Each structure stands twice: as structure tokens, then as C-alpha cells.
Structure 1
Amino acid sequence: MSLPDFGQQALISMLVSLIFIIVTWWALQSINLEKFIKAGNVIQARVLLILLTIVIASIVSNFFLDYLLWAQQLPFLF
């Protein structure tokens, strides 16, 4: 891999991660968390939701980026 390839890969990785963070946040908004929140702990619940969003988005984006890398490496099989 040449130096410009690393730059492109970094840009794609950042964009994919950001997209999956947005999609995960949107999807988690459908969960009714009020049932599970103690009274007066709204800020803690929001922090938990943000951390959960980051964790899920990270796992999904890593899978997507790994799959993309594997697809790019397939021509080397033949």
C-alpha cells in the first residue's frame, strides 16, 4: 500500500464510523428507556445511550471495513 492509499483508507474509515454512529443513534431512539431509568438519572441514561451507540457503531463499522478489505484482497487469490 502506498502513502495515498493509507490516506484514502483513513478517510473511508472515518466516514463509515460516523455514518454507523448516526444510524445506531437513530435506531436506539426507538427504545423506550423510561421504564429502565431511575427517577432523576436522566443524564446518566443519556451518557449510557451515547456509550452504547459508540460501542455498537464501532463493532458494526469494524465488520463493514474488514469485509471491504477482504473484498479488495480477493483478486490476490487468483
Structure 2
Amino acid sequence: MLGIQSVITLICYLFFILVSFWSIQAIPFYKFMGKYENQAKVLIVLLSVVIGYTVSTFFLNLITTIENLVFLVK
């Protein structure tokens, strides 16, 4: 069971990182950063990882909390 949970966690992390990367690309960082185009690309990747990890952790904790509500009823 623990192995399945690890796979689900990894898939969730990757999914939300990809979604955040896709959505952050709409922000024109290149206009703000001027001649620092390479740093803008790194900033996009780092922001994607931070946002994706945070959102994924939220949803995984939400699912765990909902699963633990069963113990309240018993």
C-alpha cells in the first residue's frame, strides 16, 4: 500500500508542476527582466516547482484528511 501511495504522490507532484509551468508561461517575464533572458527561464522553472509542489501538497493533505474523517464516525 505504501508503494502505491508513493507512486500517486509522485504523479501528483509532476502533474501540478507541469500545470503550473504551463500557466506561468503566460506571464511575460522577459519584458520585466530585460536582458536577463536565461535568468527569466530559470525563474519560470523555479516558480513552477514551488507552486506545483505547494498545490500538490495541499491536495494530498486534503485527501488524507478526508480519509481520516472515517475514524471520527467509527
Structure 1: 5+ residue runs without aligned partners? none
Calculate the TM-score normalised by the size of structure 2.
0.92
Identity in percent: 38
Q: Secondary structure at the match of 1:30?
A: coil
Report the Cα offset of residue 73 of structure 1: 1.0
Matches within 5 A, 1:1-78: 5-39=1-35, 41-78=36-73
User: What is the distance in 2 between the residues matched to 1:46 and 1:37?
Assistant: 10
Q: How many residues were matched structurally?
A: 73
Deviations 1:10-60 (A, max 9, x none): 011000001001100111011111221121x11111011100100000110
* Moved segments of 4+, more than 6 Å: none
User: What is the distance in 2 between the residues matched to 1:14 and 1:34?
Assistant: 31
Structure 2: 5+ residue runs without aligned partners? none
Report the Cα offset of residue 9 of structure 1: 0.9
Calculate the TM-score normalised by the size of structure 1.
0.88
* Greater share of helix: 2
